Amino acid sequence: MELKLDSITDFLSEQEWYQQLKAKWEELDPQSRLYLRIASAVTAGLLFLFLVFSSIMNVHQLRWQLGQRQALLSMIQSANSEIRGLRASGVPADLAGQGGPWDAYFETIASNAGIDKADLTVSPEKEGQSGEVAKESLFDLSLKKSTIRQAVKFAYFLENGSRPVKLRNLSINTHADPTGYIDATLAISAFTPRAEKGGR
């Protein structure tokens, strides 16, 4: 270890910038040297405190992220249990008829999932791919202040209801709400058979 320190000292002493700094240091009076030592110590102390504070903040941030992920994992596990329960109990038989406006159908599905009609927002209908057998309509269904169980029920009832609906995407925003409520958006494809009348 001492050999390495000697090597570093010899290397520095050979550098021109080091020799210039050493010469300027020797030109300083004792009081100036004392002030410079104090300033260096204060700067080093502040830098150390900054590094410690940054490390503490990083640890708190990691703990918060871990807590969020554990809460989300718990909700996902709860949702999986809910899906298994729904499959075992079956889908309610009164999930609206075969025809009529899609808005009314979605509201009926939401009601069966325990969601208030005021908490459901249906986007304007967009035309999807249309074939000879069925017409595809695209919708975004937004749920406000719902529980994960309600969102899962809603998605399950949509895909297993009396009218052909396919879930394309489901996004959930927890807003870090300690009460457990979430906002969810479901992107769906709704299909109206060509032979069917009265669908939008």
Residue 96, pLDDT score: 46
Predicted pLDDT at 13: 67
Residue 174: pLDDT band (50, 70, 90) is: confident
Q: What is the pLDDT of residues 19-29, one digit of tens each?
A: 777 777 777 77
- pLDDT tens profile 95-132: 545 568 899 999 999 998 899 989 999 999 998 887 77
pLDDT band at 185 (very low <50, low <70, confident <90, very high): very high
Tokens encoding 50: 């900054």
Q: Is residue 200 within 8 Å of 125, Cβ to Cβ?
A: yes
Q: In this structure, is the dihedral angle defined by the CA atoms of residues 166, 171, 172 and 175, taken in order, positive or negative?
A: negative
Condensed to tens digits (0 to 9), the pLDDT of residues 41-97 reads: 888 888 888 888 888 888 888 887 777 677 666 766 666 666 666 555 555 545 545
Say which residues have a Cβ less than 8 Å from residue 144's Cβ, sequence separation at least 6. Answer: 119, 121, 183
pLDDT of residue 68: 67
What would the pLDDT profile of 128-150 be if each residue is shown by its tens digit? 887 777 889 999 999 998 888 88
The 3-state DSSP class for residue 137 equals strand
Q: What is residue 119's predicted lDDT score, i.e. its pLDDT?
A: 93
108 close to 131: Cβ distance less than 8 angstroms: no
pLDDT tens string 71-81: 666 766 666 66
- The amino acid sitting at 105 is Y
pTM for the structure as a whole: 0.53
Residue-level pLDDT at 89: 56
For 129, residues 6+ apart whose C-beta sits below 8 A from its C-beta are 136
